[in-house]
Amino acid sequence: MTTAEFSTLRLERAPGLLRVGLTRGAIGGTVLTELHAALDLAEADPDCRVVALHGADGVFCTGMDFADASEHLGDGGELARVGGEEFLGLLRRFTLAPRVVVSLVDGWTSGGGVGLVAASDFVFATARSQFGLPEALWGLLPCCVLPFLIRRVGFQKAYTMSLSTQSVPAEAAERWHLVDELTERPDTALRTLLARLRRMDAATVADLKRYCRAQWSGSAAGEELALREFARLMADETVARRISDFTTHRKFPWEA
């Protein structure tokens, strides 16, 4: 694909950099396909060292596209597993790609959006940014997010973030190491990082990522468990009804 062929992402090239704008907010099938395609473009460019993700209008990414997911309810979770595999594969690819993935967060991030952040190599966020995992309110779990979130912030922080469903403000996210740098100028932090990374071979980036992933012994088993659990929950009748109620009537699970 060329940059002009993307319908859900806005791509901009600069020396050593591919900027990827998330224009939809939510993550559906087309967004996943195009994020993989964006990485393909970055990896095909020998000069590219960094893929920088950013949102728009105070939203980085809100996670699963319920409208998209509602079209596949009632199939026993089969298509949910396929979608889960594609999303999990994207997060895994973030951690292994021979390009440095940077998330520039300015505003709200939830659900699978937290997964994109957690799997990124660097995260620069503004003070107004917030991060949340509301899945449990719907009868779901952040299945595919947790293997990467635990790797980044540790078990207890990932657990309490999932169980409380409360949003985490930017300052706390930085203390937890979900955010690497809190700044009102994420682009400035990005330029400083890029200047350094352009001196590095892409092969060295790939070697370091592969080596560090190998040090994380629970990777493969945790990811397979995530897929099984996600498919099981998406096949649950209560979860399906809640998603349908929201997409059809804008009714939240906790509303009578």
| Coil vs helix vs strand at 218 | coil
The band of 229, judged by pLDDT with boundaries at 50, 70 and 90, is very high
Q: Give the tokens for residue 176.
A: 């937890």
H or E segment to which residue 79 belongs: helix 78-96
Task: Report whether pLDDT(256) > 70.
Answer: no
Q: Which of 71-85, 126-140, 185-199 has the lowest mean pLDDT?
A: 71-85
Q: What is the pLDDT of residue 150?
A: 95
**Of 19, 246, 211, 9, residue with least CA distance to 134:** 246
Q: Which of 14-28, 69-83, 120-134, 229-243 has the lowest mean pLDDT?
A: 69-83
Q: What is the pLDDT of residue 218?
A: 67
The band of 160, judged by pLDDT with boundaries at 50, 70 and 90, is very high
Task: Report whether pLDDT(220) > 90.
Answer: no
Helix axes 155-164, 146-153, angle to 10 degrees: 130
**Of 174, 171, 191, residue with least CA distance to 128:** 171
Task: Report whether pLDDT(84) > 70.
Answer: yes
Listed in sequence order, the residues at least 6 apart from 163 whose beta carbon sits closer than 8 Å to its beta carbon are: 136
The band of 219, judged by pLDDT with boundaries at 50, 70 and 90, is confident
Q: How far is CA 175 from CA 26, 64, 68, 120, 192, in A?
A: 26, 26, 35, 17, 22
Task: Report whether pLDDT(102) > 70.
Answer: yes
**Of 116, 120, 97, 87, residue with least CA distance to 190:** 120
Q: What is the pLDDT of residue 162?
A: 98
Q: Give pLDDT tens digits for 137-156.
A: 999 999 999 999 999 999 99
CB 223 within 8 A of CB 88: yes
Please give the Cα distance from 138 to 144 (Å, whole number). Answer: 16
Considering the chain, what is the average pLDDT of its residues? Answer: 94
CB 31 within 8 A of CB 9: yes
Task: Report whether pLDDT(130) > 70.
Answer: yes
Q: Give pLDDT tens digits for 49-80.
A: 999 999 999 999 999 998 888 877 766 567 78
Please give the Cα distance from 179 to 104 (Å, whole number). Answer: 10
pTM recorded for the entire structure: 0.95
Residue 239 burial (CB count, 10 A): 21
CATH for 3-185 is: 3.90.226.10
Q: What is the pLDDT of residue 63?
A: 96
